[in-house]
Amino acid sequence: MRAGVKLARSRPDWAAHIEHLRFQLGLSQTGLAQKLKVSAMAVSRWERGVNQPPAACYISLGKLAGPPECWYFWQRAGLSKQDLLHALKER
């Protein structure tokens, strides 16, 4: 491979979901970063698929998304729909 040539790599599904949510909310990367209390660079890296958000950010993204999209983000955080519904019923 020649120097300076980068291989195209596909972006992870979760990166596209984050970017799509940001567009739906009408926010810039900086605006979303402020809501999540992270840097704008972190959001940029997530959307490019360079870094994955921590579980706490996935939970916050789910709260911002609302139903039914919230479940995608909460599952990425390791929460299952069944566990959450069971926990809510116990209250």
User: Which domains are present in the chain?
Assistant: 13-89 (1.10.260.40)
Handedness of CA 35, 38, 44, 18 (dihedral sign): negative
Question: Over 90: is that where the pLDDT of 91 sits?
Answer: no
Mean pLDDT computed over 62-89: 88
Three-state DSSP state, 76: helix
pTM of the model: 0.83
Residue 8 has a pLDDT of: 57
Nearest partner of 12 among 76, 77, 78, judged by Cα: 76
Name residue 70's amino acid: C
Mean pLDDT computed over 57-83: 93
CA dihedral 27→29→30→33, nearest 10 degrees, is: 100
* Residue 75 CB-half CA count within 13 A: 11
